Amino acid sequence: MTTRNETPWVLPLRGRDPREKHRASTPLELLFDLTFVVAIATAAAQLHHGLSEGHWSAITGYLLTFFAIWWAWMNFTWFASAYDTNDVLWRTLAMVMMAGVLVLAAGVPRAFNEGQFGVLVLGYAIMRTPMILQWLRVARDDPSRRETARAYAVGIGVLEIAWLT
């Protein structure tokens, strides 16, 4: 049994009660969102620089980068609203995702300016792998949603492999 100030290492991931009222974002979720703001701001700055130099292809680069960032953020926020257990494993995987977002953001200028996507793709892989692990936790712990959780884990994994190839 844990006391109020202790955080358990690993708890079963069970779906939240959809009738739960007034759930506020945790400080970790707010920090998580902030890393995505950094990534989008980096992409927006590259879009601005590209357009100011007359490179209309910057629009395509921005849209592709924004989609990757937005899709990962949206997937995590949806997942967090349904399954956040706030255990140590949850927090650790969220921090790994944040590190991946920042690596992706660091790769944005090189992708825009030099056509080198290695760092951006590495960041994407770092960012998305923990979501696969979280969905596998759901598949293990929530029998009523096992098939859906496995489908999400496989889908994210297949897309991640596609990004890496």
Q: How far is CA 9 from CA 63, 85, 89, 134, in A?
A: 38, 10, 6, 14
DSSP state of 77: H
Is there a domain that residue 13 lies in?
no
Residue 138 belongs to a domain = yes
Measured distance between the N- and C-terminal CA atoms of the chain, rounded to whole angstroms: 46
Sign of the torsion formed by the C-alpha atoms of 122, 124, 127 and 129:
negative
What would the pLDDT profile of 29-61 be if each residue is shown by its tens digit? 899 999 999 999 999 999 999 999 999 989 998
Range of the domain at 145: 27-164
Considering the domain boundaries, does residue 125 fall inside one? yes
Q: State the pLDDT at residue 87.
A: 84
- Over the stretch 142-153, which tens digit does the pLDDT of each residue have? 999 999 999 999
Global model pTM greater than 0.75: yes
Instruction: Give the pLDDT confidence score for residue 37 in this predicted structure.
Output: 96
Task: Note whether residue 3 is domain-resident.
Answer: no
Mean pLDDT in residue range 79-84? 82
- Kindly tell me the number of DSSP H helices and DSSP E strands found in the chain: 5, 0
Number of domains in the chain: 1
Task: Give the amino acid at 48.
Answer: H
Q: Is residue 137 part of a domain?
A: yes
Residue 20 lies in a domain: no
102 is a domain residue: yes
The answer to whether residue 37 is domain-embedded is yes
